[in-house]
Structure 1
Amino acid sequence: MPASISTIMERPVCFIENHEDGTIQVNQEALKILSRYTQKVVVVAIVGKYRTGKSYLMNKLAGHRNGFSLGSTVQSMTKGIWMWCVPHPKKREHTLVLLDTEGLGDVEKGNSENDSWIFALAVLLSSTLVFNTIGTIDQQAMDQLHYVTELTEKIKVKSSEQSEDVDETSEFKRFFPSFVWCVRDFTLQLQLNGKDISEDEYLKNALKLKPGLSPAVRNYNLPRECLLHYFHSHKCFVFDRPASKEKLQDLDNVEENQLEASFVQQTKKFCRFIFENSPVKTLSGGYTMTGRGLGDVAVSYVEAIRSGSIPSMENAVIALAKIENSRAVDEALSKYEEMMKESEGKFPTETQEEFLNLDKESHSEALNVFMKLSFKDENQEFQFKLLEELAGRKEVYQRKNEEMSIRRCRAVLQELSAALEEGVRQGKFSVPGGYKRFMAEKKSLVDDYLKAGGKGVKALEVLQQFLKEKENVESSILIADKTLEEKEKKLAEQKSQAEAAARDREILEKTNLELQRSLQNEQDSYRMHVERLEKKMCEDQEKMRQENTWLIEEKLEEQKEMLDGGFKNKCQMLEMEIGRLREETNKPQSLFGEIVTALLPGRLGKIVKKIFL
């Protein structure tokens, strides 16, 4: 659904606070804002040296002249990471989250370690990373990418225990954002060997590796190799100088027609590319993130940094999964409650089957909500919790349905038996022939009761209880009736007992039938959970296969680049990675038995297994 008025941000807010003592923390106000965004998010972060015009580009993406602070002096204006959430201009029901980072290399800060963490967080949180530099893509510009070469020391894919002695860099491309290099104040001609080239070809040429093993060559290749190996979808934009120095100092208030036309055109081209090509922020396995989830993983990463450990993407995903799966259970239960409360208008149901159908429909919708919101529910822990909770809620509503039925039945009987009760009190039946008159009025009362509608599921039980309560009165009237012989009285008593026994049998048969239906309903609920789980697991595996297929294509392109450059050893390493990915992608999966075993414990699990397996 579209962003509500309460979630529209007029101005950016600080997302990751960077304090003077070098510590960072997540701003609680930003978390509250993100918690209201339940749409999918496209997250664009921009990094680069301070005073290079990063904020101007982010304001353009936000559709505003100002917002992110531009500043007009040599001081860096942005501290930490600032956030601005705006409706996505191209993707309906998506939110564009813009992250403007403080300038790297600020001489006033004097803390390169802090810069590295800001860069690492921008990588971890974004789906597109914009790297902003001035001049050209030369060695000096490449030297600014030393933050990329440090990422292996700042980010882990697996938890620290699992990642020891394991090279995880081959997995970075699966998690990392797409990469866009913006070169500002570009004055060169886009030519190579006398031929015109595109911006992307300019970047591709700048990222070419040099053959050789000398320390100088290794230092030259390292940032280029990391950029190629860690990121995907490399894109380049070059911008002319936007205006004169005087105008640049007041860029917030400069009209677009006062800027260089080529700069304005290139800025529009850049924005159009970001809007059309920046992907939704996605975790491994194809889980698309919401603003709420983005806030949760940010907390996970920052807390890891504050504790002195290295942020693990796997740990962040596990922590997010627990939070989101708990929410999924809560929202699924809320959906069930909402539907059952609406169904209370139909209480008491005439039959138990009607009630079970209401429960089944509500249960199904609740399960839909859970399946839509949950992810990485290891061992179906949260799904089984949902199943147990729904069973408990069903019992509550079943009792409510029965209680309403009992109250309704008693009210009907009270109304119908008023004349009979009054007759008993006045001694109307304590006369010769009174027993037959009493039995006739009782039969009429029972007939009228059985014809009355809206009594619900407890109609027979309440009637039987009412008639049992009248047995002593009936017996007294029978004994007192002098017109009946002892034999007739005995036959009348036997007939009354037979009728009561027949009603007991009818109630027992009804109870047994309801028990069977309840058991069938529970089996249907389990079956529904198993079927939805199997479908979700198949969908998740298909997403993983698609992700692996995409990653294989990326690795093949990378391998081609290495082969063209004559890097045989690196080609062999990539060949091994590609082989592993293909093996993982083509590995047959056996799901169904594992699902049933995991989800359905105990007696009902065995029953459902017999049905399915």
Structure 2
Amino acid sequence: MASGVPLCLIENVKGQLIANQKALEILTTITQPVVVVAIMGLYRTGKSYLMNRLAGKRTGFSLGSTVQSQTKGIWMWCVPHPQKPDHTLVLLDTEGLGDVEKGDNQNDCWIFALAILLSSTFVYNSMGVINQQAMDQLHYVAELTDRIRVKSSPDHSDGVEDSAEFVSFFPDFVWTLRDVTLRLEADGQSLTADEYLENSLKLKKGSSEEDKNYNLPRLCIRKFFPKRKCFVFYPPAQWKKLSELECLHDDELDSDFVKQAEDFCSFIFSSSKAKTLPGGIKVNGARLGILVQTYVDAIGSGTVPCLENAVTTLAMCTNSAAVQKAADHYSEQMCQQLRLPTDMLQELLDVHAACEKEALAVFMEHSFRDDQLEFQEQLMVTIEEREETFMRQNEAASLSHCEAELDKLSESLRESISCGAFSVPGGHSLYLEARKKVEQDYDRVPRKGVKASGVFQNFLKSQITVEESILKSDKALTESQKVLEAEKAKKEAAEKELAVIRQQQKENEEKMEALKISISETMAQIKEKMEIEMENLLRDQERVLDLKMKALEKLVHEGLEEQCDDLKKEIKRIEENIKAMKEKSSLKLEFLNGTQDFCHELLLNVFSSEIKRALRKM
């Protein structure tokens, strides 16, 4: 779902950041992955204009035409992605930095941090060329480690998180230079925009305070944003027309500016990734809304937003919804596929197995980070309860159907008994023939279900007194014949009772086998999910390791040996982390395999006990 117009996502009310519930409601309707592009920069530098271009509109985000800042807080515009039909493009236009009327640097820092946390591509917009003043204005980057935590408790003994942990979830970085009038060159050589950016990020050799201040923002950008891009824009029109920019058509703008804007949009559309959390967790609109609320709540409570805590909150909300979605899918499919009563119990068990497998797949698709299998257990308990409900419904349908059919089939027998048709010499033989016909007709009734034998057994029990009375009054039989007939009737009753017990035993076997298959299927899906999540986490770490290795090579090439030590420590930590993750993954899989074997053994023991109890009844 797209929002037709921009809407305030995070309100800035007297320095307090508040999530707009109406905007969050819109996000909950977006089930597609979201590509989130946020723009930051000094106020009145044309940020909103670029975002409107990305939305394919001339108007939308407020541009304003005076020196007064227009955008307050963070505004959101959700539009269909122009190149990825299965994604939604979420544009975040932020309050301008350095607004003299506001004069609140802390508030600016939090908005900057939120834009970093929420986006998959972060655009920093500034005027003119990259000089020391432009770098000084980016001091917010150097403060990110004070505004954001990756983990609730750092792993490192020094209590400091290294930049590798930030890189794993920070967005790609795009620097847009506006109203550039100078040529981009160094040492008399023309530079591309990207070369110009990299040249501007070179560090100074030296350890003086001045050198450290010069290097700090550059070092932070290099560390936190290894994937960088730069775009240069010429002035869009004559200065007198700039106040009417949103009213101007492309043919009224500078042709070079139009081309530059098109190149910028094309890059964003093709290169910006879906918002993804560590482990390859794709963020859709609903998940983005949870992140917004979690981060804003943390800031409002005076704590530092923590990615680990946010992901935990997100996982709990997402997994609870996944349990409900999967359980509802199970019930819907069972209702669609089941025809009650089922002819045999196995028919219901087969449908249950297929629906349970689908429900598990739904849960696996929509859940993540269920490391303790807490929500998996909730789902299995819920499905087991709903299966039991379908079992009872099936038994009730079978019972009702069988009793109704048997009542109709035995009507003639009851009438004959009432009118004394069997109170004659040879009446017992006539009674047995009439009852046999009822049994034969009952056997021919289709889809009687799981209560078929039990219902007929109860019918036979109800006839015991009647048969004894008819047998005693039958003058055609001698006393010894009557005794033999009575013994024969008891034997037949015992055989019928044994048949019912055997049917119950067979159903128990079928239930146990179905449960064993269910455990195997569940374990298989858990292992597959775990392997995918671990592969994604390892891929993240290996990507960061590759970026760090390239950064190290660049520092060595620049002759900045003193900057290499920290980076080497980070690389070593990443390598150790990768090794530990692989060992942990191996242990988890071994545990799951052992658990599956244990469950199967437990089932066999339970099954054996069921058999023994059934045998004792025989």
Aligned residues: 601
1:352-371 CA distance string (max 9 Å, x none): 11110011001000000011
For 1:313, the aligned partner's letter is: L
What residue is the counterpart of 1:24 in the other structure? 17
What residue is the counterpart of 1:206 in the other structure? 200
Is 1:157–1:163's contact at 8 Å kept on the other side of the alignment?
A: no
Residue 520, structure 1, aligned to residue 513, structure 2:
yes
Is 1:156–1:163's contact at 8 Å kept on the other side of the alignment?
A: no
Describe how 1:535-546 pairs up with structure 2 within 5 A. 535-546=528-539
CA distance in 2, matches of 1:297, 1:605: 43
Match of 2:177 among 167, 183, 198: 183
What residue is the counterpart of 1:4 in the other structure? none
Residue 427, structure 1, aligned to residue 420, structure 2:
yes
Offset of residue 458 of structure 1: 1.2
Offset of residue 92 of structure 1: 2.4
Is 1:172–1:231's contact at 8 Å kept on the other side of the alignment?
A: no
What residue is the counterpart of 1:481 in the other structure? 474
Offset of residue 136 of structure 1: 0.8
What residue is the counterpart of 2:218 in the other structure? 224
What residue is the counterpart of 2:151 in the other structure? 158
Offset of residue 576 of structure 1: 2.6
CA distance in 2, matches of 1:494, 1:579: 87
Describe how 1:133-282 pairs up with structure 2 within 5 A. 133-160=126-153, 165-170=158-163, 171-282=165-276
Match of 2:5 among 8, 11, 14: 11
CA distance in 2, matches of 1:431, 1:245: 121
CA distance in 1, matches of 2:308, 2:601: 32
Match of 2:281 among 281, 284, 287: 287
What residue is the counterpart of 2:590 in the other structure? 593
CA distance in 2, matches of 1:145, 1:37: 33
CA distance in 2, matches of 1:86, 1:232: 28
Secondary structure in structure 1 of the residue aligned to 2:315: helix
1:381-428 CA distance string (max 9 Å, x none): 111111111111111111111111111111110111111112222222
1:530-557 CA distance string (max 9 Å, x none): 1111111111111122111211111012
Describe how 1:343-358 pairs up with structure 2 within 5 A. 343-344=337-338, 346-358=339-351
CA distance in 2, matches of 1:76, 1:482: 114
Is 1:211–1:565's contact at 8 Å kept on the other side of the alignment?
A: no
For 2:313, the aligned partner's letter is: A
CA distance in 1, matches of 2:121, 2:363: 29
Offset of residue 231 of structure 1: 1.4
What residue is the counterpart of 1:531 in the other structure? 524
CA distance in 2, matches of 1:80, 1:444: 85
What residue is the counterpart of 2:117 in the other structure? 124
Offset of residue 561 of structure 1: 2.0
CA distance in 2, matches of 1:163, 1:426: 95
Is 2:98–2:105's contact at 8 Å kept on the other side of the alignment?
A: yes
100-109 vs 466-475, which moves further: 466-475
Is 2:117–2:170's contact at 8 Å kept on the other side of the alignment?
A: yes
Gaps of 5+ in 2: 607-618
Secondary structure in structure 2 of the residue aligned to 1:130: strand
For 2:74, the aligned partner's letter is: I
538-547 vs 321-330, which moves further: 538-547
Residue 471, structure 1, aligned to residue 464, structure 2:
yes
Is 2:11–2:19's contact at 8 Å kept on the other side of the alignment?
A: yes
126-135 vs 82-91, which moves further: 82-91
Is 1:34–1:295's contact at 8 Å kept on the other side of the alignment?
A: yes
Residue 305, structure 1, aligned to residue 299, structure 2:
yes
Is 1:527–1:608's contact at 8 Å kept on the other side of the alignment?
A: no
TM-score (norm 2): 0.94
Offset of residue 596 of structure 1: 4.9
CA distance in 2, matches of 1:279, 1:478: 87
Offset of residue 96 of structure 1: 0.8
CA distance in 1, matches of 2:57, 2:601: 58
Offset of residue 573 of structure 1: 2.3
1:577–1:606 CA distance, 2 compared to 1 (3 A)? farther
Offset of residue 169 of structure 1: 3.3
Secondary structure in structure 2 of the residue aligned to 1:249: helix
Offset of residue 161 of structure 1: 7.1
Secondary structure in structure 1 of the residue aligned to 2:320: helix
1:87–1:36 CA distance, 2 compared to 1 (3 A)? same
1:151–1:608 CA distance, 2 compared to 1 (3 A)? farther
Secondary structure in structure 2 of the residue aligned to 1:376: coil
Residue 563, structure 1, aligned to residue 556, structure 2:
yes
Secondary structure in structure 2 of the residue aligned to 1:232: coil
Offset of residue 492 of structure 1: 1.5
CA distance in 2, matches of 1:117, 1:241: 30
Secondary structure in structure 1 of the residue aligned to 2:70: coil
CA distance in 2, matches of 1:151, 1:287: 23
1:77–1:608 CA distance, 2 compared to 1 (3 A)? farther
1:536–1:32 CA distance, 2 compared to 1 (3 A)? same
169-178 vs 25-34, which moves further: 169-178
What residue is the counterpart of 2:97 in the other structure? 104
For 2:589, the aligned partner's letter is: F
TM-score (norm 1): 0.95
CA distance in 1, matches of 2:96, 2:219: 24
Is 2:2–2:88's contact at 8 Å kept on the other side of the alignment?
A: no
Residue 42, structure 1, aligned to residue 43, structure 2:
no
What residue is the counterpart of 1:460 in the other structure? 453
Offset of residue 326 of structure 1: 0.7
Secondary structure in structure 1 of the residue aligned to 2:130: coil
CA distance in 2, matches of 1:579, 1:608: 49
Secondary structure in structure 1 of the residue aligned to 2:207: coil
Secondary structure in structure 2 of the residue aligned to 1:86: strand
What residue is the counterpart of 1:583 in the other structure? 576
Offset of residue 341 of structure 1: 1.2
Is 1:52–1:184's contact at 8 Å kept on the other side of the alignment?
A: yes
Residue 388, structure 1, aligned to residue 385, structure 2:
no
CA distance in 1, matches of 2:598, 2:393: 28
CA distance in 2, matches of 1:582, 1:513: 56
CA distance in 1, matches of 2:189, 2:21: 53
CA distance in 2, matches of 1:607, 1:461: 27
1:154-207 CA distance string (max 9 Å, x none): 001111576784221321111100000000001111222222211100000001
Gaps of 5+ in 1: 1-6
Residue 54, structure 1, aligned to residue 47, structure 2:
yes
